[in-house]
Amino acid sequence: MTGMERVPMGPPWSVDLIADLHAGVLPPEVAAQLRPRVEADPEAREILQALDATLEDLHALPPIPMPDHVAARIDAALAAEARPAAPVVSLDEARRRRNRRLGLGGAGVLVAAAAAFGIVLAVSPGAQQANNPPVAQETPKTNTNVTSPPLAVKGDELGSAVGDVLKAQNFGPLETPDRLAGCLKGGGITSSGNPLGISPITLDGRDAVMAILPAGLGQYRLVVLDPKTCGPDKPEGVLADTTIKPR
């Protein structure tokens, strides 16, 4: 302490301050000046007496044994702290041990790395010379952009497409949620949320996009749009609009 602590003014004094005085945690010079003033105040003296009585009650309690599971956890933690630390191994040494376990030498590491990234090493006849390093070539990639044909739906059987459309979030020729919102607005269709599912389809052989919108508890609103004609102020772009309750 610096010896410059100020003695709190009172009465009244806070219960926290009196408790600190009772516990002996205040600086000695502050406690020496504060105690006679606190003991001279009837209300503060009652708090001190209550704190004394509480301590006596606590001292009179029988000892409480530590639960076995708590003691076991403490013992395990102490035993773990007592174990010797693992020896420090340099990074280079760790890599050499790893390579020996994998059976890889200098060239073997290069081959393994190339295999991991799908690279084939083409070695020319003079590859053993320092001025002819191996040439890395990418392996041919198969075309993964193959798309399946859109779902074929009949106008009187829109409900049969619900299961497939619910699984998709494919705006198809509409491309963006904003374009979808414009087409819905053109048909005077409002929705309380994003589409539950959307997918390109053919409606009676005509290219279209079906969107499934929330329509209240346990109901779906099925909207089929013509991507070529739908848009704001274009109600003719809505090819179908019906609400169903799935079974």
Confidence category of residue 87, pLDDT binned at 50, 70, 90: low
Tens of pLDDT along 44-60?
A: 888 989 998 888 888 88
Give the type of residue at 31.
A
pLDDT > 80? residue 149: yes
Task: Say what the pLDDT of residue 230 is.
Answer: 93
Task: Say what the pLDDT of residue 85 is.
Answer: 61
Higher pLDDT, 88 or 97: 97
Task: Say what the pLDDT of residue 128 is.
Answer: 47
pLDDT > 50? residue 222: yes
Q: What average pLDDT does the structure give for the chain?
A: 77
28-35 — which CB contacts under 8 Å span 24+ positions?
A: 28/1, 29/1, 29/3, 29/5, 30/5, 30/6, 33/7, 34/7, 34/8
